[in-house]
Amino acid sequence: MRFCYHPEAGAPQLRVEGERFVHLFKARRHRSGEALAFRNLGDRYRYDYQIAQIDRRRAELTLLSAQEDPAIASGPAHLAWCVVDPKVIERTLPMLNELGLKRLSLIWCAKSQRNFRLDADRMARIVIASCEQCGRSDPMVIESMDYGAFKSAHTLAWLAPGGAPLSRSALGDRVLLIGPEGGFASEEVAKEPVFGLGAEQILRSETAIVAAAGQLLIG
């Protein structure tokens, strides 16, 4: 863990309780007198705190120092992913965040199952935990909207087998859209550019979006 997240990091005194307390002081067994690094993920500073007191349910920490930390920031990429099973989305989020994806739009399309429910708070917690682990300073932004509204707000490109080689320069300012299992409905298909990953085998949507993010951000 590169740092711990706390929304009030930077304050002279910091209280840690709840799940964060259990993780730091029950699982990881930190003790009084030790120093811990915190970030609030809202500025570029790392705040070092000394553990002053620990009781059964909370810990009190005192600020030792603050220093500007070299930011591990996001890349320029914005990807859109048609909604699939939320469990699949949740286990894919850390990989996309670690790769440096700037923004992820979760799109409700015709073949998205409407009985799915996206838990925005849970997804945010997953991304924050990923930042703590990999050291990223600006969490990936996640939004959700219907296909029609998204298409009217952005210039799109499609990810499909047999498309042109995907690259950041070829994609330009378009947002790459990764479809759901089973593909798009006929009324959703348009004439936007189509890009591919060069794989002959059929990829699951979560594999495709991770591969696309890697191609755009580090490939």
Do 191 and 88 share a structural domain?
Answer: yes
Do 45 and 103 share a structural domain?
Answer: no
Taking CA atoms, 176 is separated from 22, 157, 212, in Å, by: 40, 5, 9
Q: Identify the CATH number of the domain in which residue 186 sits.
A: 3.40.1280.10
Do 160 and 84 share a structural domain?
Answer: yes
Higher-confidence position of 173 and 192: 173
Residue 73 in any domain: the answer is no
Counted domains in the chain: 2
Do 137 and 175 share a structural domain?
Answer: yes
- 40-85 pLDDT tens trace: 998 889 999 999 999 999 999 999 999 987 656 566 689 999 999 9
- Whether pLDDT at 183 is above 80: no
> What range does the domain containing 205 cover?
78-217
State whether residue 138 is helix, strand or coil.
Answer: coil
Taking CA atoms, 186 is separated from 109, 166, 183, 190, 192, in Å, by: 11, 23, 9, 9, 14
What are 50's two structure tokens? Answer: 């000394």
State whether residue 110 is helix, strand or coil.
Answer: coil
Q: Identify the CATH number of the domain in which residue 56 sits.
A: 2.40.240.20
d(C-alpha 150, C-alpha 153), whole Å: 5
